[in-house]
Amino acid sequence: MIYIQIFLEFFKIGLFSVGGGLATLPFLRQLIDQYGWITHEQLLDMIAISESTPGPIGINTATFVGHIVGGVAGGAAATVGIVAPSIIIIIIIAHYFSKFSENPIVKAGFSGIRPAVAGLIGAVSFEVAKIALLHVEEYKATRNVFAILNVKAVILFSIILYLVSKYKKHPIVYLSAAALVGIVLKL
């Protein structure tokens, strides 16, 4: 049954995506390749929506994918699946953490996990940038080197990157401005 499959796939994602919502993205990309439940463009759109709406990106995206695949019940199955491992693990950790938090093996394990999470997030960031800033399919079709770059998107990316680093406003300000620019320029 599709709902059990959705639950189990998102349970696995929730179990192994250490480091927060962005760490779920490599697993979601793998789901696209394996099942084709959504497209890469839909995932990129969902990231943008999740970043601008309340709630964790992983849960928002799981709910979206589940809903696309199985309607409201699919959305519920994906949401429960992705949060269940965290609930189980937190209950276990809360019970034992004070006993093991200073253990050198536990500390070393967390020291090893941190760079791996950064690498996972970096890899997904590269994929998101590729989808948002490049016209890979157009390049493949035409083999025109100048067709690969989405110039408007790169300029907008550069401006937003500069503004974020200089002014440090709330992300919704930049997302709203970028949405307005996208509407006006039809990016």
* Residue extents of the structural domains in the chain: 2-132, 134-187
Q: What is the pTM of this model?
A: 0.60
pLDDT at 11: 94
| Residue type at position 17 | S
Work out the average pLDDT over 121-130: 85
pLDDT at 19: 67
For the cut 90, the answer to whether the pLDDT of residue 77 exceeds it is: yes
For the cut 90, the answer to whether the pLDDT of residue 42 exceeds it is: no
pLDDT at 51: 73
pLDDT at 33: 86
Give pLDDT tens digits for 11-35: 998 888 776 677 777 888 888 888 8
Work out the average pLDDT over 106-116: 86
For the cut 90, the answer to whether the pLDDT of residue 66 exceeds it is: yes
Measured at the CA of 73, the angle between CA 67 and CA 75, to 5 degrees, comes to 35
pLDDT confidence tier of residue 70, bands split at 50, 70 and 90: very high
pLDDT at 187: 65
Indicate the angle between helix axes 25-35 and 2-16, nearest 10 degrees. 150
- Closest among 90, 102, 96, 126 to 18, alpha carbons compared: 90
pLDDT: is 13 or 137 the higher one? Answer: 13
Q: H or E stretch including 167?
A: helix 151-167
